[in-house]
Amino acid sequence: MGSDNLHHRRKAKATKELKRRKSRRSSYDKILIVCEGEKTEPNYFAELVNYYKLNSANVEIDGTCGSSPKSVLERAEKLTKQEADKGDGYDRIYCIFDQDSHETYAETIRKISEKRPANLFYAGVSVPCFEYWLLLHFKYTTRPYHATGSSSVANEVLRELKAVFPDYSKGCENTFITLIDQIEFAKQNAIRSTASARQNYTDNPSTNIHELVDYLQNLQLA
């Protein structure tokens, strides 16, 4: 009898907590964004959420998983299961990672595409790296990037970005706010570069970060 009472008390407490959590949220989707970077990408999306006055109870941003695409997906899967077990699952889960030189990039893309149900997990990717998306705020370019000597492929993109955005550095704050006036230009450039990459049977360079940005911009209208 005692164990039954304890079970019912725990269940009642969990139900009360679930109602409390849901009451804090707005009516639109509950989103999880898991980033490979600890600062650059999480800072960017946190600033976006704040700028568009999105409810932080609706949009969770995590950057604690390490840098490999595989670790991003595993972290997203863990958090997704935790919330589903509480009866408070996400409506969309975004895994944000770069191609860079990661060995698990293609495998992770495939696993996300095979996830069921469909339209729950999304891959937000940049080739070679997130800085290419930032570069598109300044200009349209489809020049392929390659490692040169001791300079990695990501450093090659960073070098080009700093030529037009000298104050930028990895992990810096206020990047989204600084570039807000150019965001629609960047989105159009990303659409063009993705179409060009597809036409030329390559993905270097390309990014689909604009799709997540656009989704978040319109989240309150959904």
Q: Where are the domains of the chain?
A: 28-221
Strands 121-127 and 59-62: unpaired
Give the model confidence (pLDDT) of 3-47 as tens digits: 666 555 555 555 556 567 677 899 999 999 999 988 999 999 999
Residue in this structure with the two tokens 């989103």, named with its chain if needed: 31
pLDDT digits (tens, 9 = 90+) for 87-104: 999 999 999 999 998 999
Residue (of 194, 208, 98) closest to 140 by Cα position: 194
DSSP strand pairing (31-35 vs 92-98): parallel
Percent of the chain residues topping a pLDDT of 70: 90
Inter-residue contact 96 to 34 (CB < 8 Å): yes
Q: Which contacts qualify for 74-81: CB closer than 8 Å, 24 or more apart?
A: 75/34, 76/32, 76/34, 76/121, 79/32, 79/34, 80/32
> Is CATH 3.10.450 correct for 28-221?
no
Sheet order of strands, 92-98 included? 59-62, 31-35, 92-98, 121-127, 206-207
Query: Per-residue pLDDT tens for 153-212?
Result: 999 999 999 999 999 999 999 999 999 999 999 999 999 999 999 999 999 999 999 999
